[in-house]
Amino acid sequence: MIYFDNVSKIYSGGESIALEEVTFQVAPKEFVSIVGHSGAGKTTLLKMLIAEDQPTGGVVFFESLDVHSIPKSRLPDFRRKIGTVFQDFKLLPHKTAYENVAFAMEANGRTDEEIAENVPQALELVDLADKMWNFPGELSGGEKQRVAIARAIVNQPDIIIADEPTGNLDPIATYEVVQILKKINDLGTTVIMTTHNKGVIDALEKRVITMDDGRIIRDDKEGKYVL
């Protein structure tokens, strides 16, 4: 489904190498964790996948499509296939959990009937049916992140990318969020997650790609956090 072919990214007149000749692929329905120290290139990798940044060299394919050849007018259609979860949630503070999730469907042009049916289902999947009408300020950090996950999955994307989704959470909330991501993966959605959390990686027993200085230094099918 996803193939990075010898992808490099160089900033600042050639002095800062974010990615160097990165090659790997992700199959449909895989759960892949990308680990590495800060500055290793993890976030740049995700930006390449959603065409938020351009490679200096190499090609990123989604299925058979070179994502960086997509015209700007078609990028929103492409990005609807990918749900994104951020470390800092990016919720709208004056909208309820329901409204935050519904907003993602409204932006996709979905009907009121579809929204009324799918938003409660998404919140149920992340165990927040009872917090549907709460505002972000009334939710814990873990609950906010679960709303963000519901927003990411409500349009039924092919892939979820989660950039340090547990970085601001306590251990209990971290466990809950990771279990929900595993559940989403078990239902058939590909998940690509970046993380610094050794405990999360070791407990997942899923594929681990380890990065250092913009390069892939390990790719383990059922890996541990090794740096």
* pLDDT tens-digit readout, 151-160: 999 999 999 9
Least confident of 35-49, 151-165, 171-185, 212-226: 212-226
Banded pLDDT at 116 (limits 50, 70, 90): very high
CATH architecture of the domain formed by 2-220: 3-Layer(aba) Sandwich (3.40)
Average pLDDT over residues 91-115: 95
Give yes or no for a contact between 175 and 153, defined as CB atoms under 8 angstroms apart: no
Query: Can you state the percent helix, strand and coil of the chain, rounding each to 5?
Result: 40, 25, 35
| Residue in this structure with the two tokens 């976030």, named with its chain if needed | 43
DSSP 33: E
Please provide the average confidence, as pLDDT, over all residues in the chain: 93
Q: Is the pTM value of this prediction over 0.75?
A: yes
What pLDDT score does 12 carry? Answer: 76
Question: 3-class DSSP state for residue 16?
Answer: strand
